[in-house]
Structure 1
Amino acid sequence: MKNIKSYFLFTNKQRSGIFLLIIIIVVFQFTYFKLSSKNSSQSIDNEQLESFIREVDSLKKLKLVEQEPKIYPFNPNYITDYKGYSLGMSIDEIDRLHAFRAKEQWVNSAQQFQEVTRVSDSLLSVISPYFKFPEWVTNPSASKKNTNNFRINNEPKIVEQKIDLNQATAQQLQKVYGIGEKLSQRIIDFRNNQPNGFIADIQLSEVYGLTPEVIENITNHFTVKNPPNIQKLNLNMASVEELVTIKYIDYEIAYEIIKIRTLHEGFKSLDELTKVKDFPVHKLEIIKLYLTL
């Protein structure tokens, strides 16, 4: 008993320490309960929360609208599989259009487009406002005013009989079937924006709004007779800085050209550019105008 009792005997210093410890514990406990009760007593402002939720939802909707693909005016005769799918057409509807075009027939109105493809009225109402037909289809009265020998006889002429494309006037171009005032002016503007005019007939494909059929009609009666002399770049010697001066060739493609050229110890043909990574193959004929070996 004496030994046990000795465990409960403290000095004055020890008693002071124990008393201080008790005070600290009490203060901490009081502070904890005070903060807990304060947090639990805070009420949520439901009106403010709903406002925040509405704002988040509106931002989500705005983001979805921005991500939706934009539709630009297009000629429905040239709808590809991907284009048709993105417009909401079914595979059968796209195939019907392609089968119709394979017979060298043309869709010239929204109603005819529906008859050929059998798309629903709802889909037609959505996409038909973006249909863009040639001027001679949408404005036949203007086309009649331009009736002439070109339209009566659209057979190709020999080079000597053709008009120089770099000398042709807007009025002469309008004699071609499918060319109106707007397209003829675009051709003239494009020619004027080139340093020395057209280099070759292939540049007509660069003029916005000219379909392959209309370009063929033009080249039946017009051609570049006296192409301007331009300084062509030697593909096997040109630097990156020189290559990027050519339209459609950026720095990445220029570096890839140098890489392939070094690997194969030079190009043997301009057509070998198609082996270059990310090369714009569909613009090869345009790019070749500015290169030589």
Structure 2
Amino acid sequence: MKEMIEAFFSYSSKERRGLLVLVVIVVIINALNFTLPLWYKRGDRFKIEIQNFYETEVFAEDSSAEQQKSVRSKDSLFSFDPNTLSEHGWILLGLKPKTVKTILNYRAKGGRFFNAEDLQKIYGLSAPDYLRFQPYINIKEEKKIYKKYVKKTKDEVKVGLNSGMEEDWKKLKGIGPVLSARIVKFRNALGGFHSVEQLKEVYGLPDSIYQSITSFIVTDSIEIPIFELASATVKELSSHPYVSYAEAKAILNYRDNIRTIDSLQQLVIENIINEEKLIKLKPYISP
């Protein structure tokens, strides 16, 4: 040791300073070699402790969430009808809002669930969710509302007594093309109907059909042409369906050779026509 100290002072001052610097560097290096491993080990241990803490907390949170989910699933299940359950009800069952929206849109467009299995067709509904609440599905039977069908018949048509054409008459039950043509032809020959009862006089029209159509006939008035006995000819008078040729000739012979006709009742008194014929002719002739 003494020799080392003597040797140290044997150097020049410059050499001594250099040697001291070298010693300091060596000491620092040795110190670092000793302390650095201890520092890294402590840092690694800290990291491990932090990781363990994080994993413990995450596990605890997951476990808590699972427990809450399990409790919620058991507590929130209830009997429901998927055709009427509200949005809030679906949420209570634990479905995702997107899945709930899909169900509501399906129903809004007229979709209906006829059995529990139909729910499996909903896009986004998972099998676990379906199996979870499947036992609680209770679809009520839809009440069918039957609208009373009223068959439209020909009888619903209203026909004008004097304005109805052949096509109109054919719309009445029991009136075909033959009878409709006869009705119009008879009406034209008369100059117009003054009473619904005149339809009874149409050839081939059964009374049963007449009775069934009277309530569907509208009595519309028209100006009926009148034959004036003072100026009418035999041909003109006999053209009327209610006056035969013989009756027309007798009436005018009475007018021309016996006396002027002042009243239609004279024809009855003179036995030219009977009372029944007079009643029929009154709307169509005048003295």
Indicate the TM-score class for this superposition, using the shorter chain for normalisation: 0.3 to 0.5
Which of 1 and 2 has greater Rg? 2
TM-score by length of structure 1 reads 0.33
